[in-house]
Amino acid sequence: MTDRTSQRLPHTTMNDMNPEPGALLHIASEPGAGATSLALQIIRDSLIKSGRIIWIAREMPDPGRLSDIFGSLPPTSLSRFHAAAFGEHLARGIEQSLDLIEGLDSITHVVIDNWTGISGRVDNQHVNVIRNLIKSCNNKCSLILTSPMYGDASGKDEWAIRGPDIFPTTWRLTRKNSNSQTRILDTGNETIELTPIDDGFRFSNHSS
């Protein structure tokens, strides 16, 4: 099996969660539910199998959480994880990375963590640079983006997805309830319970 496996989730192993080559996956999350950890867990499976990852974010992942999730990886795998944080200049950072993404055939995944920011409207510059990134990754590598959802004032749903609907596949990650550690991952095809553990999440209780 290659590092680029199906995004369908018939089982609870992370191998079944990796998007297909060229796939585009958006993880929209209740704030604090663990979208960054879930993305790290997905790409960890790719790093184990010689994948090369470009990780672009406003802030670097929490060092403790990064150590928990990547702690079992050998140095050779960690050397293929290329991460950079650009603060509020995320769009510029993505633009600067396009040449690298287009020039390196060995890249298997590009991750943009918190592409929308946590408040306010998503400006057109960010949307346009994401559209360009989608084109650069198309049929070349998998692209995963995370974003925090916000409270839905319309009352239609508890949480609403921030930014325009430009992604063919969006997973919604929420807490089961305010008193539970359990997360609910809705992939659009099925709903899965996630339990936080030291090195990511444990998957259980699938329903379609």
pLDDT band at 44 (very low <50, low <70, confident <90, very high): very high
More confident residue, 160 or 155: 160
- DSSP element (H, E) containing 63: helix 63-70
Q: State the Cα–Cα distance between residues 87 and 28, nearest whole angstrom.
A: 20
> Any idea what the CATH number is for the domain that residue 175 is in?
3.40.50.300
- What pLDDT does residue 126 have? 93
- What pLDDT does residue 12 have? 38
Instruction: Let me know if residue 128 belongs to a domain.
Output: yes
Instruction: Let me know if residue 3 belongs to a domain.
Output: no
Instruction: Let me know if residue 2 belongs to a domain.
Output: no
pTM over 0.75? The answer is: yes
Strands 150-151 and 170-175: unpaired
pLDDT band at 208 (very low <50, low <70, confident <90, very high): low
- What pLDDT does residue 119 have? 84
Instruction: Let me know if residue 4 belongs to a domain.
Output: no
Question: What average pLDDT is seen over the chain?
Answer: 87
pLDDT band at 180 (very low <50, low <70, confident <90, very high): confident
159 in Cβ contact with 149 (< 8 Å): yes
Give the number of domains in the chain: 1
Instruction: Let me know if residue 185 belongs to a domain.
Output: yes
Instruction: Let me know if residue 24 belongs to a domain.
Output: yes
Instruction: Let me know if residue 60 belongs to a domain.
Output: yes
Helix-strand-coil split of the chain, %, nearest 5: 30, 30, 40
User: What is the extent of the structural domain holding 22?
Assistant: 18-207
- List, in order, residues 6 or more apart from 156 with CB less than 8 Å away: none
The yes-or-no verdict on residue 8 having pLDDT over 70 is no
113-152 residue pLDDT tens: 999 999 888 989 999 999 999 999 988 899 999 999 998 7
Instruction: Let me know if residue 5 belongs to a domain.
Output: no
Region 99-116 average pLDDT: 93
- What pLDDT does residue 46 have? 92
pLDDT band at 16 (very low <50, low <70, confident <90, very high): low
Q: Is 182 exposed, middle or buried (0-12, 13-18, 19+ CB in 10 A)?
A: middle
The yes-or-no verdict on residue 4 having pLDDT over 80 is no
Q: State the Cα–Cα distance between residues 68 and 72, nearest whole angstrom.
A: 8
Q: If we measure between CA atoms, which residue out of 105, 106, 119 comes closest to residue 80?
A: 106
